[in-house]
Amino acid sequence: MDKIIQISDLNLYYGTNHALKDVSMEIEKNRITALIGPSGCGKSTFLRTLNRMNDLIENVKISGSILFEGRDIYKNYDKIYLRKKVGMVFQKPNPFPMSIYDNIAYGPRVHGIKSKSKLDDIVENSLKGAALWDEVKDRLSKSAIGLSGGQQQRLCIARTLAVEPDVILMDEPTSALDPISTSKIEDLIAMLKQKYTVVIVTHNMQQAGRISDTTAFFLSGVVVELGPTEELFYKPKDKRTEDYITGRFG
Amino acid sequence: MDKNDIAIIKSKRKSELIGKSYTTACGMLIIILTLSIFFFIASKGVATFTTDHVSIFDFLFSSTWAPEKIGSRGQPYVGAAIFIAGSIIVSIFAVLVSTPISICSAVFMTEISPKLGEKFLRPAIELFAGIPSVVYGWIGLSILVPFLRNTVGGLGFSLLAAGIVLTIMIFPTIASVAADSLRVLPSDYREAAYALGATRWQTIKGVLIPAALPQIFTGVVLGMARAFGEALAVQMVIGNSIKFPQGLTDPTITLTSIITMDMGNTVAGSAWNNALWSMALLLLLISFGFIILIRRISKRGD
C-alpha cells in the first residue's frame, strides 16, 4: 500500500503548550483515515500540520518531519504548492460571498488558469465530483450564500476539488449539518477515495466507523492507537481506546 | 403585598414615566429641529422661483451669474451652473484620488501590518480627522498654493489646490470605514482562500476586498458627501473666480464657497440673497441624496 504522507516524531507547541507529542503515523493513498478523540486532544491541530495551515498562527513551533510524496513539507517546500496538492474542508461551510461559479473558479484562477472554457469545464467537473452539479447547474451565477448548509459544504468540497489536490483534509465536515445532509456528504466522501486520499477529523464515532478504512485515536496530543477501523472499533488494543469508544469519556 | 411594596411599585412606575417622557421629548426635539431647519431653508430657497420668477432650469444650468442685473423678462441672472460644476468636479477629484490611497492604507492596517497599523496609522488617521477645516485651508493657502504656482503654473489658487486639500480631508473618513469593513470580515474567508493555495495578496484582492466592497462604498459616499459640503478650506484655496475652469490649474468656485463669501454682503429679500438660499437648499437636497444612497447600499449589503 502506497504511503502518501509520512509523519515522524512530530511535536507541536502553541507557545508553551505542548499540543502534539511524538506523533508518528502514515497516511495511505486512496484510503480514508479518520482521526478521533475527545475535544482538545490535538486531532484538528494535527490535521492542520499536514497543509501547513498552522503557519497562520503565531507562536507555533514544530519539530519532527512530515513527508508528502517523499519530500519534507517544512523544509524547502513551497506551501502554496502544498496547499494546492493537499486541500482542506472546514467544519463550518465557508463559501465566499460570490457566485457559485466564482467560488469554484477562484482556486484555478489563483493558480493561473485564465481561459474561460477551461474554467467552465473545471467548474462543471468539480460540481459533478461533489454531487452538486444537478442542483445548481442552472444558477451558477447566483450567490453561493443562498445555498442551504449541506449544499454550501458540498460547494466547499467542489471548490477544493477544483484545484486538483491529491489529499483532502476534512475537519469535522458534517458536524454543523443536519442528518440528511450529513449522510449525503458521507456518501460523497466514500466515493472520493477512488481518486483522492481523505483524512477526516470527526467527533462522531459512528461516522468514523461508517466511512473510514483506518482510524487513529488521539488523546492529549498523543496517538494512542492506530489501525484498521474495524479492528480499532471491535478489538481495541489499548484500554483508553476501548473506554473512549464505549463512551466512558469524551 | 403590604404598604411598603405598594410604595416601591409606585416609585418604580414614576421613574419609568419620567425616563420615558424625557427620552421621548429629546427624540421629538431632534426630529422637530431637523424638520424646522429643512422647512426654513426650503421656504427661503424657493423664493428665487416663486418671488423672483426664475425658472429652475435657468438656476441649475445657466452660467450667467449677475444677480444685481435684471433681465429682459424682469428676472435676475442667477445661474448657478458654475458653482454646481465646481462643487462636482472638486468632489469627484477628491474621491477618485483619495479612495485608492484610503483602501490601500486600510489593507495595510488590517492585513499586512496590524501591529504597526494599530500603533501608528490609526492614531494618525484619528488625528487627521480632528484637524479643523480652517487649519487645512490655512496650510493649503500658505504652502500648497505657492508650491503649485511655482511648479505647475497658474495662480496656485486652483481646482487642483482644492482637490488636493479635500483629498487629504476625506482620507480619514474613507480609510477608517474601509479598515472597519475589512476587520469585520469572518476569518473563514481568509482560511478558505489560503487552504486553496492563494497567496496573501491574492486573498486580499480576490476575496477580502470584493467581500468588503459594499461597506467600503458607503465610506466612499460619505467621503464624497464631506467633500461636497466642505466650505472653508475650499474657499481659501480655490481662487473663487466665477468662471468655468479650463484646466486643473485654473481657479474656480463652488456652491459652498460662494455662500461663505456672499452671505454677509447681501440684503435679505433681494434676488441675490434668495439665490444664495436656493443654493443652500440645493446643498441640503444633495446631502439627503447622499444619505439615501448610503442607506440603500447598506441594506443591499445585508
Is B241 found in the same domain as B123? yes
Residue B275 lies in a domain: no
> Among partner residues B189, B206, B210, which is closest to A94 by beta-carbon distance?
B189
Domain range for B225 is: 81-262+283-301
Interface test with A, best of B194, B204, B208, B209 (most A CBs within 10 A): B194
Contact of B207 with chain A, judged by CB distance below 8 Å, is answered with yes
Contact of B302 with chain A, judged by CB distance below 8 Å, is answered with no
* d(C-alpha A211, C-alpha A235), whole Å: 18
What is the distance in angstroms between the Cα of B114 and the nearest Cα belonging to chain A? 13
Residue B122 lies in a domain: yes
- pLDDT number for residue B39: 94
> Among partner residues A53, A97, A160, which is closest to B194 by beta-carbon distance?
A53
**How far is C-alpha B43 from the geometric centre of its chain's CA atoms?**
24
- pLDDT number for residue B196: 95
Contact of B81 with chain A, judged by CB distance below 8 Å, is answered with no
- pLDDT number for residue B69: 81
pLDDT in tens, A193-220: 999 999 999 988 889 999 999 999 999 9
The verdict on a CB contact (< 8 Å) between A107 and B196 is: yes
- pLDDT number for residue B268: 83
Q: Hey, is B257 helix, strand or coil?
A: helix
What is the distance in angstroms between the Cα of B207 and the nearest Cα belonging to chain A? 7
- pLDDT number for residue A72: 94
High-pLDDT (> 70) share of chain A, %: 99
**Partners of residue A94 in chain B, C-beta under 8 Å:** 186, 188-189, 191-192
Give me the amino acid identity at B6: I
> Which residue of chain B has the CA closest to A50?
B195
Predicted TM-score (pTM) of the model is: 0.83
pLDDT in tens, B160-198: 999 999 999 999 999 999 999 999 999 999 999 999 999
Is B255 found in the same domain as B178? yes
pLDDT in tens, A32-69: 999 999 988 999 999 999 999 999 888 999 999 999 99
Mean pLDDT of B102-118: 90
- pLDDT number for residue B63: 87
pLDDT in tens, A103-122: 999 999 999 999 999 999 99
**Partners of residue A95 in chain B, C-beta under 8 Å:** 192
* pLDDT of residue B301 exceeding 70: no
* pLDDT of residue A154 exceeding 80: yes
> Which residue of chain A has the CA closest to B200?
A80
Strand order in A60-68's β-sheet?
A17-28, A3-14, A60-68, A71-72
Is B218 found in the same domain as B187? yes
pLDDT band at A134; cut points 50, 70, 90: very high
Domain ranges of chain A: 3-245
Summary mean pLDDT of chain A: 93
- pLDDT number for residue A50: 95
Residue B268 lies in a domain: no
- pLDDT number for residue B294: 86
Dihedral of CA B140/B141/B142/B148: which sign?
positive
ipTM of the complex: 0.92
Residues B236 and B75 sit within 8 Å (Cβ to Cβ): no
**How many C-alpha atoms does B28 have within 13 Å on its Cβ side?**
6
Q: Hey, is B162 helix, strand or coil?
A: helix
Contact of B114 with chain A, judged by CB distance below 8 Å, is answered with no
Is B294 found in the same domain as B154? yes
**Residue A58's CB: how many other CB atoms inside 10 A?**
7
Dihedral of CA B57/B62/B65/B71: which sign?
negative
Q: Hey, is A62 helix, strand or coil?
A: strand
High-pLDDT (> 90) share of chain A, %: 85
Is B57 found in the same domain as B104? no
Residues B243 and B86 sit within 8 Å (Cβ to Cβ): no
Q: Are strands A214-219 and A197-201 parallel, antiparallel or unpaired?
A: unpaired
Last residue of a domain, one of B78, B106, B128: B78
pLDDT band at B271; cut points 50, 70, 90: confident
Is B180 found in the same domain as B45? no
- pLDDT number for residue A33: 96
Residues B174 and B103 sit within 8 Å (Cβ to Cβ): yes
**How far is C-alpha B127 from the geometric centre of its chain's CA atoms?**
18
pLDDT band at B66; cut points 50, 70, 90: confident
What is the distance in angstroms between the Cα of B151 and the nearest Cα belonging to chain A? 44
pLDDT band at A249; cut points 50, 70, 90: low
Residue B274 lies in a domain: no
> Among partner residues A80, A95, A98, which is closest to B197 by beta-carbon distance?
A80
* d(C-alpha A112, C-alpha B199), whole Å: 12
Is B245 found in the same domain as B96? yes
Is B52 found in the same domain as B104? no
Mean pLDDT of B202-231: 93
Summary mean pLDDT of chain B: 91
| Count of the separate structural domains present in chain B | 2
Residue B277 lies in a domain: no
Contact of B294 with chain A, judged by CB distance below 8 Å, is answered with no
Is B23 found in the same domain as B130? no
pLDDT band at A130; cut points 50, 70, 90: very high
| DSSP string for residues in B69-126 | EE-TTS-EEE--HHHHHHHHHHHHHHHHHHHHHHHHHHHIIIII-HHHIIIIIHHHHH
Residue B36 lies in a domain: yes
- pLDDT number for residue B100: 96
Residues B65 and B77 sit within 8 Å (Cβ to Cβ): yes
> Which residue of chain B has the CA closest to A53?
B195
Helix H or strand E segment including A20 = strand A17-28
pLDDT band at A156; cut points 50, 70, 90: very high
- CATH homologous superfamily of A3-245: P-loop containing nucleotide triphosphate hydrolases (3.40.50.300)
Is B293 found in the same domain as B216? yes
Is B222 found in the same domain as B191? yes
DSSP state of A99: B
**How far is C-alpha B195 from the geometric centre of its chain's CA atoms?**
41
* pLDDT of residue A31 exceeding 90: yes
pLDDT in tens, A70-90: 999 999 899 999 999 999 999
* d(C-alpha B288, C-alpha B192), whole Å: 40
Last residue of a domain, one of B60, B78, B96: B78
- pLDDT number for residue A63: 93
Is B160 found in the same domain as B65? no
Helix H or strand E segment including B145 = helix B145-151
CATH number at B160 reads 1.10.3720.10
* pLDDT of residue A250 exceeding 70: no
Higher pLDDT: A194 or A1? It is A194
Q: Which three cell numbers mark B148?
A: 503649485
What is the distance in angstroms between the Cα of A178 and the nearest Cα belonging to chain B? 20
